[in-house]
């Protein structure tokens, strides 16, 4: 498994990371255990979790129980910020909440430090300096080693980097954004910011919730139990006329080269600027191995130009 530095930091992560969002939700503990053990066998070192995954804490609990002594061999990432209760009181990026959220994640993960701690979403009620000072304290205490941001607007990430620099605080080393062949909104603004500040990019939803796996066909019955089959909100977002047209063009591109759509989706991301690791969830060891093997296609410059043409609006 190829290892890449996360942005300009000294933290090395595997090119393919394991997203733990299926744990304690779509798959039970035994299935999660099989996936984690397979990930370790394949050389995956980045395990990306969040406090809200698995019905508010379940995914962290499962991963903590499964890893045991292997915890020291991996880069353990988790997130804070999204609501952890129905009333909406346990959320945000205030000092008081971050400190409590970190302690709760450490307990669930059965560890004394988090390698990479993500601010999951923006918190418009909390000044970024307060958030960064709290995270800086956690780093100084040894409970967190690196910090990063997820789904912030470009201007918010710039403000955070400027605040860290001026105030002498820990700074974000990476960002996590929705990015795939079908969703390239990241590129014009966030992409330029990431390049300017030397951040590492970790895209999530690289397969557009399954539409880029090749298992969906227009005007055919959707795969039983698949995410876009059972989740109406996601189906409305992804199963659009424009996406079907792009997928069909990309399918022809793959067929002409004897490759799969999965290989194209993963290898294209691996070739994009600033990519440090690609987060892909998995519900079985077989699916995980397919994701790992899919990054082995070395796309040429001509291939990349043709893909740009095929995916252009």
HEC sequence for 106-124: HHHHCCCCEEEEEECCCCC
Give the chain's radius of gyration (CA, Å).
19
**Chain CA centroid to CA 225, Å:** 23
Q: What is the pLDDT of residue 224?
A: 79
Q: Which of 53, 97, 186, 238 is catalytic?
A: 53
CA-CA distance, 273 to 17, in Å (whole number)? 17
- Determine the pLDDT at residue 8: 96
**Apex CA 219: angle with CA 217 and CA 223, to 5°?**
50
**DSSP class of residue 144?**
E
Mean pLDDT of all residues in 7-24: 97
Catalytic residue flag (residue 97): no
What's the pLDDT score for residue 92? 97
Distance between CA atoms of 79 and 53, rounded to whole angstroms?
10
| 89 contact partners, CB below 8 Å, separation of at least 6 | none
| The pLDDT of residue 218 | 85
With vertex at residue 201, the alpha carbon angle to CA 262 and CA 170, rounded to the nearest 5 degrees, is 155
What does the alpha-carbon distance between residue 80 and residue 230 come to, in Å, rounded to a whole number?
Answer: 27
At residue 13, the 3 state secondary structure works out as strand
How many angstroms from the chain centroid is the CA of residue 36? 16
Per-residue pLDDT of 108-122, as tens digits, reads 999 999 999 999 999
SS3 304: helix
CATH homologous superfamily for 3-210+262-298? NADP-dependent oxidoreductase domain (3.20.20.100)
- State percent of the chain over pLDDT 70: 100
Which whole number is the average pLDDT over 198-209? 95
Q: What pLDDT digit, counting tens, does each position of 250-292 carry?
A: 999 999 999 999 999 999 999 999 999 999 999 999 999 999 9
pTM: 0.94
Q: What integer best gives the mean pLDDT of the chain?
A: 95
In this predicted model, what pLDDT tens digit does every residue of 74-103 receive, in sequence order?
Answer: 999 999 999 999 888 999 999 999 999 999
Q: Is the pLDDT of residue 126 over 90?
A: yes
Residue 1: other Cβ atoms inside 10 A: 14
Q: What is the pLDDT of residue 67?
A: 97
Label residues 50-69 b or e (16+ Cβ within 10 Å = b): bbbbbebbbbbbbbbebbee
pLDDT at 57 over 90: yes
What secondary structure, in 3-state letters, does 275-298 show?
A: ECCEEEECCCHHHHHHHHHHHHCC
pLDDT tens-digit readout, 215-245 = 888 888 878 777 777 788 888 888 899 999 9
- Distance, in Å, from the CA atom of 87 to the CA atom of 187, rounded to the nearest integer, reads 36
CA distance 130 to 123: 11
pLDDT at 215: 85
Q: Dump pLDDT digits (tens) for 136-156.
A: 999 999 999 999 999 999 999
Question: Once rounded to an integer, what is the mean pLDDT over residues 197-215?
Answer: 93
Going from N- to C-terminal start, the domains of the chain cover: 3-210+262-298
What pLDDT is attached to residue 312? 86
The pLDDT value given to residue 196:
95
Give all strands of the β-sheet with 278-281 in edge-to-edge order: 200-204, 172-178, 144-150, 114-119, 75-80, 46-48, 16-19, 278-281
- Span 208-216, average pLDDT: 88
Which helix (DSSP H) or strand (DSSP E) does residue 105 occupy? helix 95-109
For 23, 85, 185, 292, 305, the CA distances from 190, given in Å and listed in that order, are 29, 30, 8, 26, 21
Average pLDDT on 16-28 reads: 96
């Amino acid at each position: 498994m190829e290892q890449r530095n996360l942005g300009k930091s000294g933290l090395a992560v595997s090119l393919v990371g394991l997203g733990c969002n299926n744990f304690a939700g779509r798959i039970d503990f035994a299935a999660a255990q099989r996936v984690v053990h397979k990930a370790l066998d394949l050389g995956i070192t980045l395990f990306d979790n969040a406090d809200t995954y698995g019905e508010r804490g379940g995914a962290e609990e499962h991963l903590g129980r499964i890893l045991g002594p292997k915890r020291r061999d991996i880069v353990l990432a988790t997130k804070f910020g999204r609501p952890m209760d129905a009333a909406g009181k346990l959320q945000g990026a205030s000092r008081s909440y971050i400190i409590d959220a970190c302690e709760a994640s450490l307990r669930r993960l059965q560890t004394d430090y988090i390698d990479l701690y993500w601010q999951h979403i923006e918190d418009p009620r909390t000044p970024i300096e307060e958030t960064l000072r709290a995270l800086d304290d956690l780093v100084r205490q040894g409970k967190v080693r690196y910090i990063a941001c997820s789904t912030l607007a470009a201007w918010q990430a710039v403000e955070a980097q400027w605040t860290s620099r001026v105030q002498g605080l820990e700074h974000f080393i990476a960002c996590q954004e929705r990015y795939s062949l079908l969703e390239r909104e990241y590129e014009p603004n966030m992409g330029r910011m990431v390049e300017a500040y030397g951040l590492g990019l970790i895209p999530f939803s690289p397969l557009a919730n399954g539409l880029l796996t090749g298992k969906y066909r227009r005007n055919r019955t959707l795969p039983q139990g698949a995410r876009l089959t059972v989740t109406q909100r996601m189906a409305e977002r992804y199963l659009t006329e424009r996406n079907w047209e792009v997928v069909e063009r990309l399918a022809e591109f793959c067929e002409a080269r004897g490759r799969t759509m999965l290989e194209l989706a993963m290898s294209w991301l691996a070739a994009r600027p600033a990519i440090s690791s690609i987060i892909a969830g998995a519900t079985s060891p077989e699916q995980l191995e397919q994701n790992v093997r899919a990054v082995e296609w070395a796309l040429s410059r001509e291939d990349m130009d043709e893909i740009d043409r095929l995916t252009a609006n």
